[in-house]
Structure 1
Amino acid sequence: METRRRSLVKAVIWNVIGIVSMTLVGVLATGSASLGGKMALINTVIGFGCYLIYERVWSNIHWGRRG
């Protein structure tokens, strides 16, 4: 079972990767760094919360684990 701290660190790292890639997509799609950054920030906040919940739920599901 993962600790809450491990889940949090994984989520932060994943979201840093996500915010960079989403900013690039937003800039390419809109032509605006400001709008692309805002889109990425909103997406990151929503995604971060969803990811943490998702990880914690799966850490309590024993299906498919060994040992």
Structure 2
Amino acid sequence: MDTKIRTVAKATTWQILGLVTMSALAFWQTGSIGGAVSLALSASLTSIGFYILHERAWGRIRWGRKART
């Protein structure tokens, strides 16, 4: 199991990679740096919010869990 700081570091670097990738794709399609960064940031924030909601919902579902021994 990872430490909390390692988990935060991994999540942060994953988000940065996503922002760079989304910005590059949006710039390629729009030709606008400002529009590309704006789109990437809004997509990232939306993604984080829905991920949290998704995880909280799955936290309430017992299906597929193994009992601790």
Unaligned runs of 5+ in 2: none
Q: Distance in 2 between matches of 1:35 and 1:23?
A: 9
> Judging changes above 3 Å, is the alpha-carbon distance between structure 1 residues 24 and 15 closer, same or farther for their aligned structure 2 residues?
same
Q: Which whole-Å deviations, capped at 9, do the CAs of 1:8-34 have from their partners, x for residues lacking one?
A: x47655433322221111111111211
* C-alpha RMSD of the superposition: 2.4
Report the counterpart of residue 37 of structure 1 in structure 2.
37
For residues 47 and 29 of structure 1, the distance between their equivalents in structure 2, rounded to whole angstroms, comes to 21
TM-score, reference length from structure 2: 0.68
**Structure 1 vs Structure 2: percent identity of aligned residues?**
35
Cα distance in 2, alignment partners of residues 11 and 56 from structure 1: 17
Contact 1:11 1:52 in 2 (8 A): no
TM-score, L = length of structure 1:
0.70
- AA aligned to 2:49 is G
- Over alpha carbons, which structure has the higher Rg? 2
Q: Are the equivalent residues in 2 in contact too, given 1:11–1:48 (CA < 8 A)?
A: no
